[in-house]
Amino acid sequence: MNITSVFIPVAFLVYLILPTALLGLLEYFLARTESPWPGRVLPILSGVYSLFMALMVLLNLTAGASLLSLVLLPAGLLLLLNIPTAIFILIYRTTRKRRRQDRDIDKMNIQDL
């Protein structure tokens, strides 16, 4: 067993899964607010971050890389870094949908009175 077989899963856990879980909890509470905009902040920031990171990798590879690595490496990074964005959007949509249903039920209860 070499060091890289242990280090890569640990690094993946520390740098992608743990922050995504903590920020996902924050996203849940932001999506529950009355205004929809606080819940949209984390998905937007996460998407912009992933675009900038892919662009940075692309610009750093242009010096002498092959065409295949110019396409695959930034695309793979973009795909990997958009996983948290998809999770944040999923949390936002399910939370807002539940909030909208609760608001509709409250309107029906008021009309019944």
- Taking residue 41's Cβ as centre, other Cβ atoms within 10 Å add up to 14
Range of the domain at 20: 3-112
Q: How far apart are CA 15 and CA 58, in angstroms?
A: 21
Handedness of CA 35, 39, 40, 44 (dihedral sign): positive
Check residue 3 and give its pLDDT.
Answer: 60
What span, in angstroms and rounded, lies between the C-alpha atoms of 19 and 10? 13
Model pTM? 0.79
92 CA to centre of own chain: 11
Confidence at residue 83, expressed as pLDDT on a 0 to 100 scale: 92
Structural domain total, the chain: 1
**pLDDT for position 11:** 73
What is the residue-level pLDDT of the chain in tens, covering all 113 positions?
566 566 666 777 677 888 899 999 999 999 999 888 999 999 999 999 999 998 998 888 776 777 777 888 889 889 988 999 999 999 999 999 888 887 877 778 777 76
Residue 74 in contact with residue 57, Cβ under 8 Å? yes
pLDDT the model gives residue 1: 55
Return the DSSP state at 88: H
Residues 53/81, Cβ–Cβ less than 8 Å: yes
pLDDT recorded at residue 5: 62
pLDDT score at 40: 94
Annotate 33-80 with DSSP letters as a single string: SSSSHHHHHHHHHHHHHHHHHHHHHHHHHTTT--HHHHHHHHHHHHHH
Strand, coil or helix: 32? coil
